[in-house]
Amino acid sequence: MVTEGGQWDSDIVEDLFNARDKQCILNTMVRGDREEDVLYWNEDLTGDYTVKSAYQMLQRQKGLWSTADNSTLWKVIWSVKAPPKVLNMVWRALSNSLPTREVLAAKRVPVTLICPFCTGNGESIFHVLVQCPFADQCWRKRGRGYQPLAEVSFDRWLQRMLEGAGKDDHGDILTLCWSIWQARNKLVWNQTSLSVNQVVFSARQFLAEWKGAQVMSTKTLYRDVNSRDGVCSWAKPNQNEVKISVDAALFAECSKFGIGLLARDSDGRVVQGRSELFDGQVRSELAEAVAVKEALSWVKDKQ
């Protein structure tokens, strides 16, 4: 059922299988090297079983963790210009590793579940950063036309918040999450209570100071690459060398993905290019890995 080109023979698959099975087969990528099948653990990108990935799977099955695909949200977050410690804290919140009392209790740490701010509800990640009356007052104080969102998880809430805000406000939103968490820690560990005004002002001041430091750093550092808004673009290879850029695109509506390869010399001129379309509904990481593999095979064939 596989053609000489290493693709599914769609005509044969169409004749032999029902619509559901046909779609499942065509969505499965065919390996070109025809190696023997191996056991693969689908809950980890490496394919290897780990206790951590099994625990995460069980938590999702119990409904304790979100099952949403946050790939779009992650792309937005990692593009936000905000202090690394802010991005790290948000990453921990989205990956359910922020040590709130409910998270600690789930790991069998003997702690009370009560939120230290309101002392009336359990301290989940979503509660302490959004739902708690204290956190809600912080978001209202921030302004920007804030309206409570009818969401049930932090990742959904954050995605809606970022979608409804301009890019210039993304850093402000993430930094306020961080500032609320800092206020929580000061209350728990130092018995120091901060006001709503202090939390909001601290977030704005911290972000402004960090942005100011980035501007000064950009002015004093020399970069041997082209730069635009602080983001490095394509850099030339050494003389008499060729650099190959690769990328991949997903076409979920037709269960295919494509790759593109572009070879350029030290003057930036295009030497050669190539593109190819594959059957299969795969994750972006796998599509990009296939692009790199094809680039290496392409180089080998040219030698």
Mean pLDDT (whole number) for 89-116: 94
pLDDT of residue 109: 94
Helix/strand/coil for 34:
coil
Residue 3 lies in a domain: no
Query: Amino acid letter at 183?
Result: A
Q: Record the pTM.
A: 0.56
Which residues touch 236 (CB under 8 Å, ≥6 apart)? 243, 266, 267, 268
Q: How confident is the model at residue 222 (pLDDT cuts 50, 70, 90)?
A: very low
Q: Is residue 256 part of a domain?
A: yes
Reported for 139-147, long-range contacts at CB under 8 A and 24+ positions apart, including other chains, are: 139/176, 141/196, 141/197, 141/200, 142/172, 142/176, 142/200, 142/203, 144/169, 144/172
Digit-coded pLDDT (tens) for 236-279? 888 888 999 999 888 877 778 889 998 988 888 888 888 888 87
**112 and 181 housed in the same domain:** yes
For residues 117 and 213, membership in a common domain is answered with yes
Last residue of a domain, one of 190, 220, 250: 220
The rounded percent of the chain whose pLDDT value lies above 70 is 87
Query: Residue 26: CB partners within 8 Å, gap ≥ 6?
Result: 8, 10, 13, 255, 279, 280
Query: Same domain for 82 and 165?
Result: yes
What distance in Å separates the CA atoms of residue 207 and residue 142, rounded to the nearest whole number?
14
Task: Give the pLDDT of residue 22.
Answer: 82
Question: Phi and psi (nearest 5°) for 136?
Answer: -60, -40
Same domain? 87 vs 208 = yes
**Tens digit of each residue's pLDDT (9 = 90 or more) over 148-186:** 777 778 998 999 999 889 888 999 999 999 999 999 999
Q: Percentage of the chain surpassing pLDDT 90?
A: 40
193 in the same domain as 102: yes
In order, the DSSP letters of 106-154 are HTT-----B-TTTSSSB--HHIIIIISHHHHHHHHHH-TT------SSH
Residue 48 shares a structural domain with residue 130: no
- Domain end, chosen from 41, 61, 81, is at 61
Cβ within 8 Å of residue 66, ≥6 positions away: 60, 96, 153, 155, 156
Secondary structure element (H or E) that encloses residue 184, with its range:
helix 167-190
SS3 content of the chain, % helix, strand, coil (to 5): 50, 10, 40
Inter-residue contact 21 to 14 (CB < 8 Å): no
Mean pLDDT value across the chain: 85
66 assigned to some structural domain: no
Residue 75 resides in a domain: yes
User: Of the given ranges (24-33, 46-55, 133-142), which has the lowest mean pLDDT?
Assistant: 24-33
Residue in 1, 15, 181, 168 with CA at minimum distance from that of residue 88: 181
Q: Looking at the structure, do residues 243 and 211 belong to the same domain, yes or no?
A: no
Q: Name which residue leads in pLDDT, 6 or 18.
A: 18
Per-residue DSSP letter, 50:
-
Let me know if residue 226 belongs to a domain.
no
Task: Read off the pLDDT of residues 118-137 as tens digits, 9 standing for 90 and up.
Answer: 999 999 999 999 999 999 99
Q: What's residue 256's pLDDT?
A: 81
Q: And the tokens for 279?
A: 């059957």
Domain boundaries, position 34: 10-61
208 and 292 both lie in a single domain: no
The answer to the question of residue 111 being in a domain is yes
Q: How many domains are contained in the chain? A: 3
Residues 101 and 211 in one domain: yes
Q: What are phi and psi of 272, to 5 degrees?
A: -165, 155
